[in-house]
Amino acid sequence: MTEQPKARRPNRYARIIERVFFSHYTDGSREVSFERDEFVRAAQDLGIALPKNVGDLIYSFR
């Protein structure tokens, strides 16, 4: 019998992006606006070390 793969916890970039995204998203939105400094606050709220280059975080999801 094949074992089911364990669900992996999202990486720190995904967790930060998700926090910012869902703080602005409303059902049916086609666009979500945010300020770059929100990533700093989200990382602090989540207790996650912010990447040195915040741009990497954003561009990893383009």
Residue pLDDT, tens place only, 9-61:
778 999 999 999 999 999 999 999 999 999 999 999 999 998 888 888 888 88
Of 4 and 18, the structure prediction assigns the larger pLDDT to: 18
Return d(Cα 32, Cα 49) in angstroms, integer.
24
Residue whose structure tokens are 């074992």: 3
Amino acid at position 7, single letter: A
Return d(Cα 7, Cα 45) in angstroms, integer.
23
Residue whose structure tokens are 């602005």: 24
